[in-house]
Amino acid sequence: MVPPAPPQPKAAADFFPHRDLLGVAGLTEAQVNYLLDKAEIYAAQNRRVVKRTNLLEGRTLVNLFFEASTRTRTSFELAAKRLGADVINMSAEGSSIKKGETLIDTAMTLNAMHPDVLVVRHQDSGAVALLSKKVDCAVINAGDGSHEHPTQALLDALTIRRRKGKIAGLHVAICGDIVHSRVARSNIQLLHIMGAHVRVVAPPTLLPAAAANLGVEVHHDMRRGLRDVDIVMMLRLQSERMQGSFVPSVREYFHFYGLDYEKLGYAKPDAMVMHPGPMNRGVEIDTEIADDISRSAIAEQVEMGVAVRMAVLDALSARLPNFAPMNAQ
Amino acid sequence: MRPQAFINARLLDPASGLDAPGTLVVVDGKIAAVGRDVRADQGMEVIDCDGACLAPGLVDMRAFLGEPGFEEKETLATGGLAAAAGGVTTVAAQPQTDPIVDEPALVGFIARRARETCVVNVVSMAAITKGLRGEEMTEMGLLHEAGAVAFTDGWQPVANAQVMRRAMSYGTSWDLLIVHHAEEPALARGGHMNSGEVASRLGLKGIPPMAEVIMVERDLRLAEMTGARYHAACLSTGEALESMRRGKQRGLRVTCGAAAHHFALNENEVGEYRTFAKVSPPLRSEEDRAAVVEALKDGTIDVIVSDHSPQDQESKRLPFPVAEFGIAGLQTLLPLSLELVHNGSLPLLDLLAKLTINPARLLKLPAGQFARGAPADLVLFDLDAPWRINEKALKSKSKNTPFDGRPVQGRVLRTVVAGETVYEQEGA
């Protein structure tokens, strides 16, 4: 009953020569396309009754989340289980991390248990890369501080490619809290790799220093920033940043930067709206747009999340510890 | 309203450099024609200026008008009368009212109330931080859309550099002007007058000049970092002005103002604890006063303000340390400023620029110039008429002036707002 794993290219390791996925930085266009092509196959498989394969049979994936998350953790868990792996979830609550263990000690302890894949989210930029140096297994960055969130960028790219048929040459506006956003940083890099034109739209207080040096067009005015874009990516604005430190109020933020139909009218007529979730309805996005299936790709992004994470696990499987090709069994 | 012709005027328009005898014609409250060859037509109301100076009405970008919340000190009505008597046709009201102008609806309220009760134009400055607490920025975008012309915490400095940086940075989206009371509060706290020999002899706690210098230096760096448009409201020390001079040389978008009392008086005015000479920033040393004049001459100071701070008797008839800060300056702004012309410090047009077009440009107002179609806000004054300032003649609700009895030269004869005469000197 178990369908066979999608056919492995002869030398998968050559197509994706990485042990870990710590960020978008360092990926090539070919490698991204390789991942997206794989993800397409998994996306189709995920719509079937039987979604499981045995590619990762016997493997153990540990979700190590130092920062709370529901959707990303669940998405990785589903992806791993659909590939036949065993999954353990660890969160900062109720673990030795709370008791003062250092990150490196946690890594060494886990490493001694021989996991095959560690999926790590951490509140500090660079923490996942640090941890990866202390373990023998594959490490996937599920978000480190304000640095990177590579699987989010990949699932966004897949969603765009499915809806628009391409990524190269598209105009993409990333709007909102850029400075604190790892999603923005990963997306800017990935979209550049894939040949899209990227703009960021935000109040100056929510832009990183030297934003223009990231190779993006910088806008402070939503209407100007959205003019003729193909894709509008909204970012979440955390409530503690709306009380006057970065932005005066929710009311003012929505007035100038919230996505409503009037502002969306400046984008191309078929412009697609994306959001990494969780959304603040009425803060960064009008609730009607969020629910408008003709404009909003938000549900599809979540669906593609599982497919992309399966593709990443698949691509990394060729270099997992003690690897022996499944086909040899 | 019939068209008006102001004939036989010495026309003074610093924006265009015009200083010539001629005529100015007003139609529908707007300037229709101005110049040497302009003639009054049949049917016009003719006002013979008899050779007196006719200039754009003054724009005062730092005055506290009391309303709402401090009606015992000043109202929009009484402040407006004082302004009109001083030749001031546009006042940028300060936000430290009660409630504080940190809410867009209040900007509209003040505009409506001013239209109903005030004879001159009133525009609002809004607060930089909510409640002037120096912690969280206000809804600067919405306040700007509601009509706020600039942002300031009034007499309150924004102590936290990060808060100031964010406010400056945030405001660049709309090219907002940040106006600051540049005084490092930790150094100034508890002080009552300039620190120095006079304060030491009087046993009064001083406000060191360095409090101003340090804050100006900080602000200039923040302006450089954020690209903001920054204006130091009212500088009083030579060192801070030197910092400003260097900031301008570096090409920063920074400007500053000085209050009339800072070039007209020095710290000796405090004398035997005269609370009318208690003001913030404080009257400084004679060297600092001379440095203010120097900075007016070389253009470092862009704007002269009244820093009108009306205080009722109960706030001033107190021991010096507990008396309120402030000088009621709207009505004496022009004659005190003209002293700089009479003593040879500044050419007349240069002086008037700092009272008209410069503040108007900073606030992005159409006022302060003789442009065709600009509002006919005018001041007619006798440049040379000698008289004595008399506190009893002040129209302000509060009479807290240290200039009572001071002989001055130059007197407002008539003030016109949108073609309407709002003040005329008795017997003129």
Q: pLDDT, tens digit, for every residue of A191-241?
A: 999 999 999 999 999 999 888 899 999 999 999 999 999 999 999 987 777
Q: Looking at the structure, do residues B143 and B218 belong to the same domain, yes or no?
A: yes
Q: Contact at 8 Å (CB) between A175 and A232?
A: yes
First-last CA distance in chain B: 22
Distance from CA of B153 to the nearest CA of A (A): 15
pLDDT(A177) > 50: yes
Q: Looking at the structure, do residues B24 and B164 belong to the same domain, yes or no?
A: no
Considering the domain boundaries, does residue B344 fall inside one?
yes
Q: Residues of A198-232 as b/e, b for ≥16 C-beta within 10 angstroms?
A: bbbbbbbbbbbeebeebebeebbbbeebbeebbbb
Domain that holds residue B89: 57-362
Query: Domain boundary at B362, B393, B412, which?
Result: B362
Query: What confidence tier does B107 reach under pLDDT thresholds 50, 70, 90?
Result: very high
With CA atoms as reference, report the closest residue to B83 among B327, B395, B307, B312. B395
Answer whether A249 sits within 8 Å of B169, measured CB to CB. Answer: no
Angle ∠(B49,B52,B53) on CA atoms, nearest 5: 115
Angle ∠(A262,A267,A271) on CA atoms, nearest 5: 110
Q: Contact at 8 Å (CB) between B423 and B393?
A: no
Residue B249 CB partners (closer than 8 Å, separation 6+): none
Separation in Å, CA A194 to CA A189, A190, B8, B291, B380: 9, 6, 73, 60, 68
Q: Looking at the structure, do residues B126 and B232 belong to the same domain, yes or no?
A: yes
Main-chain dihedrals φ then ψ at residue B379, nearest 5 degrees: -130, 130
Query: Domain boundary at B362, B383, B404, which?
Result: B362
Integer Cα distance of A197 and A216 in angstroms: 8
Q: Looking at the structure, do residues B147 and B21 belong to the same domain, yes or no?
A: no
Mutate which of B133, B140, B142, B224 to disrupt the A interface (most A C-beta within 10 Å)?
B142
With CA atoms as reference, report the closest residue to A120 among A81, A99, A147. A147
Q: Looking at the structure, do residues B286 and B322 belong to the same domain, yes or no?
A: yes
Which residues in chain A have their CB less than 8 angstroms from residue B136's CB?
A: 243-245, 248
Q: Which residues lie across from A87 on neighbouring strands?
A: A61
Separation in Å, CA A7 to CA A84, A236, B278, B290: 16, 38, 87, 87
Query: What confidence tier does A94 reach under pLDDT thresholds 50, 70, 90?
Result: low
Query: What confidence tier does A329 reach under pLDDT thresholds 50, 70, 90?
Result: very low
Nearest CA in chain B to A242: B136
Q: Contact at 8 Å (CB) between B252 and B217?
A: no
Average pLDDT over residues A74-102: 85
Nearest CA in chain B to A218: B173
Q: Looking at the structure, do residues B306 and B196 belong to the same domain, yes or no?
A: yes
Answer whether A248 sits within 8 Å of B172, measured CB to CB. Answer: no
Per-residue confidence (pLDDT) for residue A328, from 0 to 100: 41
Which residues in chain B have their CB less than 8 angstroms from residue A248's CB?
A: 130, 136-142, 170
Considering the domain boundaries, does residue B209 fall inside one?
yes
Handedness of CA A319, A323, A324, A325 (dihedral sign): negative
Integer Cα distance of B275 and B237 in angstroms: 21
| Mean pLDDT over each residue of chain A, to the nearest integer | 91
Average pLDDT over residues A132-136: 93
Considering the domain boundaries, does residue B370 fall inside one?
no
Q: pLDDT, tens digit, for every residue of B195-236?
A: 999 999 999 999 999 999 999 999 999 999 999 999 999 999
Integer Cα distance of A139 and A116 in angstroms: 9
Say which of B135, B142, B170 has its CB closest to residue A204.
B170
Considering the domain boundaries, does residue B22 fall inside one?
yes
With CA atoms as reference, report the closest residue to B19 among B339, B385, B383. B383
pLDDT(A67) > 60: yes
Nearest CA in chain A to B143: A252
Residue B225 C-alpha from the chain's centroid: 28
Q: pLDDT, tens digit, for every residue of B305-357?
A: 999 999 998 999 999 999 999 999 999 999 999 999 999 999 999 999 999 99
Q: Contact at 8 Å (CB) between B239 and B209?
A: yes
Answer whether B139 touches A (CB < 8 Å).
yes
Nearest CA in chain A to B228: A204
User: Is B143 in a helix, a strand, or coil?
Assistant: helix
Integer Cα distance of B366 and B31 in angstroms: 12
DSSP-derived letter for residue B196 is S
Answer whether B166 sits within 8 Å of A245, measured CB to CB. Answer: yes
Considering the domain boundaries, does residue B165 fall inside one?
yes
Q: Contact at 8 Å (CB) between A16 and A31?
A: yes
Q: Looking at the structure, do residues B354 and B382 belong to the same domain, yes or no?
A: no
Query: What confidence tier does A91 reach under pLDDT thresholds 50, 70, 90?
Result: confident
Q: Looking at the structure, do residues B211 and B291 belong to the same domain, yes or no?
A: yes
Per-residue confidence (pLDDT) for residue A13, from 0 to 100: 66
Query: What confidence tier does A3 reach under pLDDT thresholds 50, 70, 90?
Result: low
Report the CATH number at residue B320: 3.20.20.140
Percent of chain B residues topping a pLDDT of 90:
97
Report the CATH number at residue B9: 2.30.40.10
With CA atoms as reference, report the closest residue to B228 among B239, B220, B236. B220
Per-residue confidence (pLDDT) for residue B335, from 0 to 100: 97
Considering the domain boundaries, does residue B367 fall inside one?
no
Q: pLDDT, tens digit, for every residue of B388-404?
A: 999 999 999 999 999 99
Spell out the SS3 assignment of chain A: CCCCCCCCCCCHHHHCCCCCECCCCCCCHHHHHHHHHHHHHHHHHCCCCCCCCCCCCCCEEEEEECCCCCHHHHHHHHHHHHCCCEEEEEECCCCCCCCCCCHHHHHHHHHCCCCCEEEEEECCCCHHHHHHCCCCCEEEEEEECCCECHHHHHHHHHHHHHHHCCCCCCEEEEECCCCCCHHHHHHHHHHHHCCCEEEEECCHHHCCCCHHHHCCEEECCHHHHHCCCCEEEECCCCHHHCCCCCCCCHHHHHHHHCECHHHHCCCCCCCEEECCCCCCECCCECHHHHCCCCCECHHHHHHHHHHHHHHHHHHHHCCCCCCCCHHHC
Q: Looking at the structure, do residues B32 and B116 belong to the same domain, yes or no?
A: no
pLDDT(B428) > 50: no
Integer Cα distance of B308 and A284 in angstroms: 42
Q: Looking at the structure, do residues B33 and B98 belong to the same domain, yes or no?
A: no
Those of residues 236-275 in A touching chain B at CB distance below 8 A are 243-249, 251-252, 255-256
Distance from CA of A118 to the nearest CA of B (A): 38
Answer whether B134 touches A (CB < 8 Å).
no
Query: What confidence tier does A98 reach under pLDDT thresholds 50, 70, 90?
Result: low
Q: Looking at the structure, do residues B288 and B419 belong to the same domain, yes or no?
A: no
**Count of structural domains, chain B:** 2
Per-residue confidence (pLDDT) for residue B283, from 0 to 100: 97
Considering the domain boundaries, does residue B285 fall inside one?
yes
Known catalytic residues of B are 307
User: Is B168 in a helix, a strand, or coil?
Assistant: helix
Query: What confidence tier does A6 reach under pLDDT thresholds 50, 70, 90?
Result: low
Q: pLDDT, tens digit, for every residue of B14-23?
A: 999 999 999 9
Per-residue confidence (pLDDT) for residue A242, from 0 to 100: 72
Query: What confidence tier does A41 reach under pLDDT thresholds 50, 70, 90?
Result: very high
Answer whether A210 touches B (CB < 8 Å).
no
Considering the domain boundaries, does residue B393 fall inside one?
yes
Nearest CA in chain B to A245: B136
Query: Domain boundary at B362, B385, B412, which?
Result: B362
Q: Looking at the structure, do residues B123 and B235 belong to the same domain, yes or no?
A: yes
Separation in Å, CA A282 to CA A252, B145, B173: 11, 21, 22
pLDDT(B171) > 90: yes
Scan for tokens 């009008």, then name that residue: A286
Which residues in chain A have their CB less than 8 angstroms from residue B169's CB?
A: 204-205
pLDDT(B27) > 80: yes
Q: Contact at 8 Å (CB) between A66 and A121?
A: yes
Answer whether A203 touches B (CB < 8 Å).
yes
Integer Cα distance of B317 and B397 in angstroms: 16
